[in-house]
C-alpha cells in the first residue's frame, strides 16, 4: 500500500490553472522531494493534501484512507510543517509541544513519552526548557518538525522548510528529516532547491502545473548535478 496516492488532480484559481492532471504514488518510508520553480503548483498541491482546498477532480489517499470520504482517518496520519512558523515564541519548546499534544488528545504517560521521543529524534532535548524565542531559526524549525510528529503520523509533509536559513541550518534540517524515514515515516518535502535532494531520493519535478519528471533523483539528474539538470528541464522553451 502506498503512503501517498494522488490521482488525476486538477485545480484552478478562477481562470488560472494551478495543477493539471497530477498523479503520483509514494511508498512507505520513502523520502520524496517535490521540486519545482516558483509558481509550479507546490503550495497548491500541499493545500489539497492537507484538505485546506478540496479538488474539483481527482483523488488523494493518505496511508490508504481517502481524504475526501474518510478525511478524519486520512488527516490523523498526516503531520504538517507549513512554510510560515506557527510556534508560540513566549512558550518553551516543551510547552509548545505539550499544548499541541493536548490538541491531538494525547495525555498522561503517552504524552510524556511522545514528547521525549520527538525531542530526542530532532536532537533538541537539551533546548526543551528554553523559550522558542531564544532559539535560532534552525532549532525553531526542528521544534516544529518534532511537533508535527507528536501524534505519530505515517506521512510528514513539509512545505519549503528551509527557506531563509543558512547552509548549516539547512543541512541539519535536511539530514534530520531524511533520517526520519528510518522509522518508516514517509516524507514529502517541497523545495525549489535541488541541493536538498539526494541521488537515492524519490523525485517529482513539478513544472507549469504538471508532473514533468517522476523517478529516482540520481537517474533524473543523469550524471549531471541535479541543479543543472533541473534548470535545463525547467528553463527549456515551451
Ligand X SMILES: Nc1ncnc2c1ncn2[C@@H]1O[C@H](COP(=O)(O)OP(=O)(O)OP(=O)(O)O)[C@@H](O)[C@H]1O
Residues of this chain that interact with ligand X (CB under 6 A) are: 13, 16, 18, 36, 38-44, 192
Helices and strands (H and E) in the chain: how many: 8, 10
List of residues 6+ apart from 118 with CB closer than 8 A: 97, 146, 147, 149, 150
| For ligand X, the closer CB: 43 or 96 | 43
Shortest separation between residue 57's beta carbon and ligand X, angstroms: 16
| For ligand X, the closer CB: 41 or 138 | 41
| For ligand X, the closer CB: 51 or 111 | 51
Rounded to whole angstroms, the Cα distance separating 212 from 68 reads 26
User: Grid coordinates representing 200?
Assistant: 537515492
Rounded to whole angstroms, the Cα distance separating 102 from 23 reads 35
| For ligand X, the closer CB: 65 or 141 | 141
User: What is the CA 195 to chain-centroid distance, rounded?
Assistant: 16
Task: Count CB atoms within 10 A of the CB of residue 126.
Answer: 9
| For ligand X, the closer CB: 21 or 120 | 21
Shortest separation between residue 169's beta carbon and ligand X, angstroms: 19
Shortest separation between residue 236's beta carbon and ligand X, angstroms: 18
To which residue does cell 534548470 refer?
231
Shortest separation between residue 43's beta carbon and ligand X, angstroms: 3
* Cα–Cα distance list, 6 to 94, 139, 152, 161 (Å): 35, 32, 22, 22
Shortest separation between residue 106's beta carbon and ligand X, angstroms: 31
Shortest separation between residue 58's beta carbon and ligand X, angstroms: 15
DSSP alpha helices (H): ranges in the chain?
A: 42-49, 71-76, 93-103, 108-121, 137-148, 167-180, 217-221, 226-234
Q: Dihedral of CA 107/108/110/115: which sign?
A: positive
For helices 137-148 and 167-180, angle between their N-to-C axes, nearest 10 degrees: 20
Shortest separation between residue 226's beta carbon and ligand X, angstroms: 17
Amino acid at each position: 500500500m502506498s503512503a501517498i496516492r494522488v490521482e488525476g488532480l486538477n485545480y484552478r484559481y478562477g481562470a488560472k490553472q494551478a495543477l493539471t492532471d497530477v498523479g503520483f504514488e509514494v511508498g512507505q518510508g520513502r523520502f520524496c522531494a517535490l521540486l519545482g520553480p516558483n509558481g509550479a503548483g507546490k503550495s497548491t498541491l500541499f493545500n489539497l493534501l492537507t484538505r485546506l482546498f478540496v479538488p474539483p477532480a481527482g483523488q488523494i489517499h493518505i496511508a490508504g484512507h481517502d481524504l475526501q470520504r474518510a478525511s478524519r482517518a486520512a488527516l490523523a496520519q498526516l503531520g504538517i510543517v507549513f512554510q510560515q512558523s506557527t510556534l508560540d515564541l513566549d512558550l518553551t519548546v516543551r510547552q509548545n509541544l505539550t499544548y499541541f499534544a493536548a490538541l491531538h488528545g494525547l495525555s498522561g504517560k503517552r504524552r510524556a513519552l511522545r514528547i521525549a521521543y520527538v525531542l530526542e529524534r530532532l536532537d533538541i532535548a537539551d533546548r526543551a526548557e528554553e523559550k522558542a524565542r531564544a532559539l535560532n531559526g534552525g532549532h525553531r524549525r526542528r521544534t516544529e518538525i518534532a511537533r508535527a510528529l507528536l501524534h505519530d503520523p505515517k506521512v510528514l509533509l513539509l512545505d519549503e522548510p528551509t527557506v531563509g536559513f543558512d547552509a548549516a541550518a539547512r543541512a541539519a534540517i535536511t539530514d534530520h528529516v531524511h533520517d526520519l524515514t528510518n522509522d518508516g515515516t514517509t516524507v514529502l518535502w517541497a523545495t525549489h532547491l535541488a541541493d536538498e535532494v539526494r541521488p537515492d531520493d524519490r523525485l517529482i519535478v513539478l513544472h507549469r502545473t504538471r508532473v514533468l519528471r517522476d523517478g529516482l533523483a540520481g537517474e533524473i539528474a543523469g550524471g549531471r548535478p541535479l541543479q543543472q539538470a533541473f534548470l535545463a528541464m525547467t528553463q527549456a522553451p515551451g
